Each structure stands twice: as structure tokens, then as C-alpha cells.
Amino acid sequence: MTVLVTGGAGFIGSNVTHRLLRAGEKVRVFDDLSRKGVEKNVKWLEENHGSKFELVVGDVRDARAVDKAMEGVTHVFHFAAQVAVTTSLVDPHADFAVNALGTLNVLESARRRETPPSILYTSTNKVYGSLDDVELETTGTRHQPLDPAVRAYGISESRGLEFHSPYGCSKGTADQYVLDYARTFGLAASVFRMSCIYGPRQFGNEDQGWVAHFLIRALRGEPITIYGDGKQVRDVLFVDDLVDAMLAVRARSKELSGRVFNVGGGPKNTLSLAELVHRIEKLVKRAPSLSFEPWRLADQRYYVSDPRALLEAAGWQPRTSVDEGVERLFDWLVQQPDNRPARTTALEASP
């Protein structure tokens, strides 16, 4: 019996694959290896597990390749995706083909099996749009909701969908297809609408993976660009805690079929961009150089997941604090040769 991890060479995929292999499970990684840094994750998996996992280089847009990868599979972690709003604005067609059509290929291949595998799909909080109707106040380094319930608990799954940006549309389309295949065809499928995940094996860039990206820029002595005022707030979730949540839901895949969960660090684990910069200054013992640009399309000034549904359904809650998680990511990034500062580059004082 095999677990299929699409996008298994990526940040989340490699962490899930590692955990499964460590538990003695058989894993097939399906990845097109197009994202920068994933080859390092494959090498890390090989160094730790040798030939205990199967690597299939393929693209979710290729229905035949997906169908072949699905052979003998009992569960699918479907992570393969185009992951950036900015990229979706440049090429909406490619964004749709990967996220929406690619997911449909996975669902159809699973549905045609004599014994269909269970599926966990990773969606995004971007399906809720820019949340412009959430009234905010600015307090020091962050935007905060005026509604005391939202401030205390975050955004729940009862929030109405409002796809914004091609990325929001493509991920939202896939999100709804997964839920409908559970309802219409009886697949044991569920959805995680994720907030900001961070941790080792993450090669963040300006478009995705902002916690790692900020740390990488600071370690290299490069300036950090902030879009907006830097007071936008997110709940951040350490990747080990996310893997715990995924395994908990997989263990209840039939019971939780057709369910959607907002997954993040929740109100106890939040950061604004400005607050992360302040933490980075303490870690690198220098102030990163900052520049500011206008807000980007569909950027939410506040998004924090309400974790109560997942707690009730699977008994899960985050264990890693922001302080511990950021330090663990920093320690891992320091060990990566690519993050050493250029000799001619010096960090400047922040304005």
C-alpha cells in the first residue's frame, strides 16, 4: 500500500514524506521539480531514506502521468500547485491548468479506482478574498479587527467565499471540486484552507513563503521589500504542527470526508511583517534594510485562522510557539551555504 504525495519535493511535501517514511510507510513522490530548491529536498530525502521512497517526475496537468502514479495508492496528499498570486497575474492560463485542471486530474484518477484512495487537498485562505469588510484598527505594529469575536477566534469556515485574483479563482475552483467529489462520488476527501506555513526545507521568495524569505534576505545582507505598510497580520504555523494535523485528518478520512478546515497558528500564533522584522533584527544582530512598495492585489490586511473546527474534529492544535518556530527556521537557514552574506554587502540600518 502506497501513499502518493503530489508536489512531494516541495516544502510541505518533503516534510510530510519524511514523516511518513520515518514511520515505515511506502511513499511515492510525484513532482515536476520545477520550483527552485526542490532538488535539495530530494537529495535530503535520499540522504535520510535512501531508496525507501519512489520519485516520479511528472506534471499534474498530464492526466496519463497522474493516472500511472495513482496505481496501488491508498491515500493522496495533494500539494502540487502554482503557489503565487503574482505568477497567476502574469499567466492566468497556466495557473488554472496546474491548480484547477491538475486537481481535477487527481480526482478523476482516484474516482476511477476500484478502491478509491482518500485525499487531502491543500487550499488557501485566498478563497475568502481580500476581507475588505472586516473592520480594522491600527495598534502599534499591526492591524487588528474591531469585532471582538474575530479578534478572539479568527476567520472560521462559515465565512463566505469570494475568490480574488486568478490564483484565488484556480485554488478556489479546486477546493470546491474536492468537496463536491466527496459529496457526489463518495470520495473520502477533505480540504485544508491554509494560512502561512513556515519551517525547515522552505526556500521562500518574494511571492510565497514570506517568513523564510525575510530571514534569507537578512542573512544574505540583502534589503527586504515590504508591500503595504508592514502591519498586515497573519497566523503562522510551524510545518511540524501542520504535518500532525494532516496525519490526524488522514486517520479519520472517512469520518471527515467533505469537510473543510481553516488551518493556521490561530490567534495565539500571529505576526505582522513589522514584528517579524523586529525579531530578525534580534536574531542576526543587525537591522535589515527595508524598502516599501504599494499594496499588492488581493493582499489581506488581516487574516487569522479560527482553529476550533479542527480541534473539535481531530483533537489537533498547534504546539510550536512563534518564538520557537522562527528560531528553528533561522537555525536551519543559517546552515544553508546559499544564505551566507556576500563579502561586499553590508546590512544597513532600517529607516
CA distances from 5 to 57, 242, 327 (A): 12, 15, 28
Instruction: Report, as residue numbers or ranges, the catalytic residues.
Output: 167
Residue-level pLDDT at 60: 98
- Are 129 and 163 in contact by the 8 Å Cβ rule? The answer is yes
Residue-level pLDDT at 36: 87
> Residue 128 carries which DSSP code?
G
Topology of domain 81-339, CATH: Rossmann fold (3.40.50)
Using the CB atoms, write b or e for 10-48: b if 16+ within 10 Å: bbbbbbbbbbbbeeebebbbbbbeebebbeebbeebeee
What contacts 272, CB < 8 A, 6 or more positions away? 141, 142, 143, 230, 231, 232, 233, 234
Residue-level pLDDT at 350: 33
> Residue 154 carries which DSSP code?
-
**Which regions in the chain score pLDDT beneath 50?**
343-351
- Single pTM value for the model: 0.95
Residue-level pLDDT at 342: 57
